[in-house]
Amino acid sequence: MAQRELRKSFRSAKGVVLLFLSLLGGTAATLILAWIQQQVRDRLPDPSPEGMQAAREVALTAAFGDPMTGHSLALAPEVLLAVFFITVSLTPLLISLLGFDSVAGDLQHKTVRYWTLRTRRASYMVGKWLGVWATVSAITLTMHAVIWVVCIVRGEAPAATTLSWGARLWLITLPMSAAWCALTTFVSSLFKTPIVALLATFASFFGLWVVYLLGLRYDITALTYAYPNTFDRFLIHARADRWMTGLGACALMTALYVGASSLIFTKRDV
Amino acid sequence: MTPELATKPEPNADPVFLVEGAKKSAKKPIEIAIRLTKVTKRFGAKTAVEGVSLKIRAGSVYGLIGPNGAGKTTTFSMMAGFLKPTEGAIEILGYPPDRVDELRSRIGVLPQDALLPGADKVGEFLLHMARLQGVAPSGVEASAREVLEEVEGRDWWNVKCGALSHGMAKRVQLAQALIGDPEVVLLDEPTAGLDPRVAYEVRQIIKSRKGRCTLVVSSHNLAELEEVCDSACILDRGRVVASGSMTELTASSEEIRIKLSPGPAPIAFVRELPMVKRVEWDEERRDLVVYFDRSGGSVGTSVDAEHVIGAVLWVLLQNQARISAVSKGRGLEQRVMELTD
């Protein structure tokens, strides 16, 4: 099911367009960030690599509240770090556009009946989630790979450093995108009309973002945990207990959404 | 006929029918392939099907008949596990329809209004269905190509499902229902929207499967059902109004119909025949209906419809009547018209 979903996505006009836009956006973002980085370097009193790293370490330690993480992340090429945070922010949009019709599209014209006859409905739902996740992961990997190439060609960082940090940062996006994909599949499974599913997906993502902002505004940490991207700061952390917490939280969120959609789908008429 | 008759075992039922497909799963022999017990389905306040009970013998071809809104497709969809009954129980080969693991590879369904996945090529779709159907990996492609050839679509392997015409799509849908040689095949309106030649071919495919599996056919086309089905039930407003063998439903073992051309109508001579119970004569339409006693009446030996046709035609011809048509029973269409609003 996941394999079929992957094939379907990359054959569809929607999948190809989103892949193209992601590549275009990724390349453009890298070039813009590199230019900004150069402007900043030109204005710094000590633009040597060591001076830049020290400045990064101070800033990242302050951002993460942990010297170990600050020290670790300061070794990463700046462009890759910036692209990572941009990717994490924009991935929900990519996921919603790719996955809104994953189940709703099958329900709309009852195509789902060919599958429910032969597979357990929970397996179908897991396959759908896995398919969307695999597609999104493949698109983001391609986008990241283009960024790595641009970084290497422009001499932003040595190839080994770029590839090692690039792969690590891409892997960190996966648990969060898994949770977003699970939520998208869940919403998609509730509707028979794809456009309604798309609007509901946007609404639910926006709703979670508002909850996250409210959590930040009123200092209610528990509220921020409803928003999967909250865990980027955990997953990127150098301390094992922190990134494992982030990984566990994303896994739990994914399991909850996939479980709920499977349960509802098992009980409903198709 | 009352709904209670629906649950009555059909006469002359074979003690046990071993369907051919049963050997592959080594399941216990099954006499009743499909059993519905007091099944009701409600959609909100609307009751689509109410208290339907059916028993469909393994190896038979069974028809679901009824006008629009009678509950055929709802009943069919519950049998296929697409819809959950609000009340009652359904068993397919001894299992509820949602027991996918037990029924995988044993059931095939042609849903009436389920579109094929437009982006998939026909070959890919059938390969995927064959894998899910539990066909052995080494036989997946052969199985897919075989069913596609059976529906005369061997050239469509690389055609996208979205590019198929209605008739072609219907045949691909039929192919996926037959893939893996399932023991139970449910076909919802298998010839709807097909041109006469393709519809004929589809009927031949259904007939060729007779005895190899249990077939349930839901259709508006009564002539088609009369041709292919062994037994059937007639639904109206969500209830079973009649069920039984096709012979019982059409009363073909109890009456014959003769249409006379203008000229003499020696009805009195027909009435005098010993096996004749009653005669109805419509002067205007020149339709003669002869009801007969299968036990033979005063003749003493049992008679069948063919015997009665011979005797009645002899009398009519002897008296210079001109005969334009002869048929056994009422015909399914007339029976349905009598039983439904």
B68 and B203 belong to one structural domain: yes
Q: Examine residue B130 and state whether it is found in any structural domain, yes or no.
A: yes
Q: What is the pLDDT of residues A51-65, one digit of tens each?
A: 777 888 888 888 877
- When mean pLDDT is compared across A20-24, A39-43, B79-83, the lowest value belongs to A39-43
Q: Are B64 and B217 in contact (CB under 8 A)?
A: yes
B48 and B187 belong to one structural domain: yes
- Both structure tokens of B15: 């003690």
> Is A11 part of the contact surface with chain B (CB cutoff 8 Å)?
yes
> Is A122 part of the contact surface with chain B (CB cutoff 8 Å)?
no
Q: Which structural domain, as residue segments, surrounds residue B281?
A: 255-339
Q: What is the mean pLDDT of residues A129-138?
A: 93
Q: What is the pLDDT of residues B142-172, one digit of tens each?
A: 999 999 999 889 999 999 999 999 889 999 9
Q: What is the pLDDT of residues A147-200, one digit of tens each?
A: 898 888 888 788 999 999 999 999 999 999 999 999 999 999 999 999 999 999
Residue B291 burial by Cβ neighbours in a 10 Å radius (0-12, 13-18, 19+): middle
Q: Which structural domain, as residue segments, surrounds residue A225?
A: 2-267
Q: What's the confidence (pLDDT) of residue B1?
A: 38
Sorting pLDDT into bands at 50, 70 and 90, what band is A46? low
Which domain-ending residue is among B250, B278, B293? Answer: B250
Instruction: Name the domain count of chain B.
Output: 3
Interface of B with A (CB under 8 A): 77, 80-84, 100-101, 104, 107, 109, 111, 113-117, 119-120, 128-129, 132-133, 176
Q: What's the confidence (pLDDT) of residue A82?
A: 84
Q: For chain A, what is the mean pLDDT?
A: 89
- Both structure tokens of B61: 């071809």
Q: What are the contacts of A216-219 at 24+ separation with CB within 8 A?
A: none
Residue B124's closest chain A neighbor by CA? A4
- Axis crossing angle, helix A13-43 with helix A78-99, rounded to the nearest 10: 160
Which residue ranges in chain B fall short of pLDDT 50?
1-25
- More confidently predicted of A7 and A264: A264
ipTM, 2 decimals? 0.78
Q: Examine residue B111 and state whether it is found in any structural domain, yes or no.
A: no
Q: What percent of chain A has pLDDT over 70?
A: 98
B220 and B102 belong to one structural domain: yes
The number of C-alpha atoms within 13 Å of B153 and in the hemisphere containing its C-beta is 30
CATH of the domain at B311: 3.30.70.100
- More confidently predicted of A264 and B306: A264
Instruction: Name the domain count of chain A.
Output: 1
Q: What's the confidence (pLDDT) of residue A202?
A: 96
Residue B43's closest chain A neighbor by CA? A269
B169 and B314 belong to one structural domain: no
DSSP states along B138-178: GGHHHHHHHHHHHTT-GGGTTSBGGG--HHHHHHHHHHHHH
> Is A111 part of the contact surface with chain B (CB cutoff 8 Å)?
yes
The shortest C-alpha distance from B117 to chain A (Å) reads 6
Q: What's the confidence (pLDDT) of residue B3?
A: 40
| Contact list, A101 vs chain B (CB under 8 Å) | none
Q: What is the pLDDT of residues A211-226, one digit of tens each?
A: 999 999 999 999 999 9
The shortest C-alpha distance from B96 to chain A (Å) reads 12
The shortest C-alpha distance from A10 to chain B (Å) reads 11
B99 and B38 belong to one structural domain: yes
> Is A263 part of the contact surface with chain B (CB cutoff 8 Å)?
no
Which domain-ending residue is among B250, B266, B296? Answer: B250
B282 and B137 belong to one structural domain: no
Give a three-class secondary structure readout of chain A: CHHHHHHHHHHCHHHHHHHHHHHHHHHHHHHHHHHHHHHHHHHCCCCCHHHHHHHHHHHHHHHHCCHHHHHHHHCCCHHHHHHHHHHHHHHHHHHHHHHCCCCHHHHHCCCCHHHHCCCCHHHHHHHHHHHHHHHHHHHHHHHHHHHHHHHHHHCCCCHHHHHHHHHHHHHHHHHHHHHHHHHHHHHHCCCCCHHHHHHHHHHHHHHHHHHHHHHHHCCCHHHHCCCHHHHHHHHCCCCHHHHHHHHHHHHHHHHHHHHHHHHHHHHCCC
Decide if A118 and B133 are in contact by the 8 Å CB cutoff.
yes
B156 and B225 belong to one structural domain: no
